[in-house]
Copies of this chain bind each other. A is one copy, B any other.
């Protein structure tokens, strides 16, 4: 309604509620200029915030961005970043509504995303109930495999899909509002890894989540990369973050469209169990195999 150039932006919030989430991204810690283009960094920074909005069951509407930029940064770099923000927003019909630029030694991105619930109840992390099924939409392990390849200096064409997945995640945005319509009882964005993010759902709901590892896809690309690096591809699937898949619980008997794959169920108890393989109660730090 009113974008950049005033003290603040004014956005539509037709639902009468607004969803909001913010992240701070620092050069060296969250991205590297030698691994990712400015455009990809913009795409990814937007994606991780837009995915958080979708994980509430909301439609993303806008980003506002605070930029800390070094004095010697080429103007084309900022153009690339801005294009990346804009193009990722365009995927979901959102736009960049405003921002702030300041001088900084390192590149700093403060990204805030807003969204609209369209009359739906927000899908929180806390609603999973014993008997529910657990399902996943989107990719798992790709970004983690891509990061492992980049760290090992294996950036050849054979694994480009994986290194691209690290640089530019593809969250299944539409599945977020879709899950709310389908009656999801709980939902989270898989940003820390499946086991850890399911751990948040288990803890918030006071329930246990059991994952069937046979239901988890281990795509051929991951198997090939794991063989190359001497890694276990299922570990990437279970603990890799940054693909921004969505994981949700649904009442048993729900008919799910093909974007959602059932991978487990909710029971009484606590923690996350990957059947016959892994027991994890907390997050990444407590993951054991």
Name A residues whose Cβ lies closer than 8 Å to a Cβ of B: 1-2, 5-26, 29-30, 52-53, 55-56, 58, 62, 64-68, 97-100, 102-104, 108, 110, 112-115, 117, 122, 124-126, 187-189, 204
- Of B1, B5, B26, which is within 8 A of A104 by CB? B26
Provide the residues of chain B in CB contact with A26, threshold 8 Å: 68, 102, 104, 108
B97/A52 in contact, CB under 8 A:
no
A18 pairs with B10, CB closer than 8 A: yes
A8: which of B2, B14, B52, B62 is its contact (CB, 8 Å)?
Answer: B52
Q: Which of A9, A21, A115 has the most CB of B within 10 A?
A: A21
| A2/B110 in contact, CB under 8 A | no
Chain B residues positioned under 8 Å from A6 (CB to CB): 56, 122, 124-126
Query: A13 near B10 (CB under 8 angstroms)?
Result: no
Residues of B with C-beta under 8 A to A104: 24, 26, 29
Question: Which listed residue (B17, B30, B113, B187) contacts A10, Cβ 8 A?
Answer: B17
Q: Contact check: which of B2, B16, B19, B102 meets A29 at CB < 8 Å? A: B102
Known A6-B124, A7-B189, A55-B7; contact A13-B18, beta-carbon cutoff 8 A:
yes
Give the one of A7, A12, A20, A67 with max B CB within 10 A: A7
Q: A64-B112, A102-B29, A108-B26 are in contact. Are A56 and B8 (CB under 8 A)?
A: yes
B19/A8 in contact, CB under 8 A = yes
Residues of B within 8 A of A99 (CB): 22
> What separation, in Å, do the CA atoms of A99 and B23 have in the docked complex?
7
Query: How many whole Å from A109's CB to the nearest CB in chain B?
Result: 8
Most chain B Cβ neighbours within 10 Å, of A2, A13, A114, A117: A13
Which B residues lie within 8 Å of A56 (CB)? 6-8, 10
